[in-house]
Amino acid sequence: MKNKWIVFGASVFSIALIVEVVFSFYRFQKEPLCYGESCNHLDANNKRCDLDAKTLIEEELQGRKIELRHSARCNASWTRAIVPPGSTIYVKDSQGNIYGDNYKVPNDKVRGAHYGNMGAGKKLRACVGLPND
């Protein structure tokens, strides 16, 4: 009887794994939903820009990890940061234009990173506005 449960569990796990692989492959094959400036202030995950994301710059400031992430598929970048609730996560270009500052970290008890919204291009700066700033 115990062996039947083990076989059943392994079968269910295998099916779930196959479904996940197929879903991931299908999602990656779909085109992103924005490119360049049309990505400004939008969420990378919702627009399928996170699939090829790479960290361009990683810094630690005041004990907080901040990264600039970039998608070549979307020609857009965004900030990934571990910061307290109420912080604003955004990117800024060399002219001082701010993109993605419409995202404020919720008090959702997530101890890991949060992601700001996107700005067009690769030459951006990852920024965080802490709640007491």
Looking at per-residue confidence, does 15 or 53 come out higher? 53
The letter for the amino acid at 108 is D
User: Which helix (DSSP H) or strand (DSSP E) does residue 120 occupy?
Assistant: strand 119-120
Give me the sign of the Cα torsion angle 79, 83, 89, 95: negative
CB atoms within 10 A of CB 80: 20
Question: What pLDDT is recorded for position 93?
Answer: 95
Question: What pLDDT is recorded for position 133?
Answer: 56
Q: pLDDT above 70 covers what percent of the chain?
A: 83
Question: What pLDDT is recorded for position 82?
Answer: 92
**Residues 34-57 pLDDT 10s:** 999 999 999 999 999 999 999 999
Give this prediction's pTM. Answer: 0.75
Instruction: Quote the DSSP letter at residue 5.
Output: H
Question: What is the average pLDDT across 55-66?
Answer: 89
User: Which helix (DSSP H) or strand (DSSP E) does residue 14 occupy?
Assistant: helix 2-29
Question: What pLDDT is recorded for position 39?
Answer: 97
What are the DSSP calls for 20-86, one per residue? HHHHHHHHHHSPPS--GGGGTT--TTTTT-GGG-EEEEEEEETTEEEEEEEETTTTEEEEEE---TT
Are 56 and 70 a contacting pair, CB within 8 Å? yes
Question: What pLDDT is recorded for position 21?
Answer: 65
Are 39 and 78 a contacting pair, CB within 8 Å? no
